[in-house]
Amino acid sequence: MLSLPVDWDYTLKGLFSINKESIDAIRIVVWELEKPGTLSADKGGMNKARWRVHYFI
């Protein structure tokens, strides 16, 4: 995630598009990074009827 451009689509779908892993595997990795605080997510705001999430590494 750190090597991607700032305007990259950091959604699970966007990360899935550049990985060989399943979207569920990517979701688990994101959760695992959140546990120790390596990655934090600010969840709020709506965008096209979906929650907007901002990740901080």
pTM of the model: 0.64
The alpha carbons of the chain give a radius of gyration, in whole angstroms, of: 11
- Could you tell me if 1 and 10 are in contact, meaning their C-beta atoms sit under 8 angstroms apart? yes
Residue 54 and residue 45: Cα distance in Å, rounded? 10
The domain in which residue 25 lies consists of 12-56
Residue 6 domain flag: no
Residue 5 domain flag: no
pLDDT digits 0-9 by tens, 6-33: 888 878 888 889 988 898 998 898 889 8
- Could you tell me if 42 and 34 are in contact, meaning their C-beta atoms sit under 8 angstroms apart? no
Residue 19 domain flag: yes
Residue 3 domain flag: no
Q: What percentage of the chain has pLDDT greater than the value 90?
A: 7
Total count of domains within the chain: 1
What pLDDT score was predicted for residue 42?
A: 73
Token digits of residue 18 = 């550049």
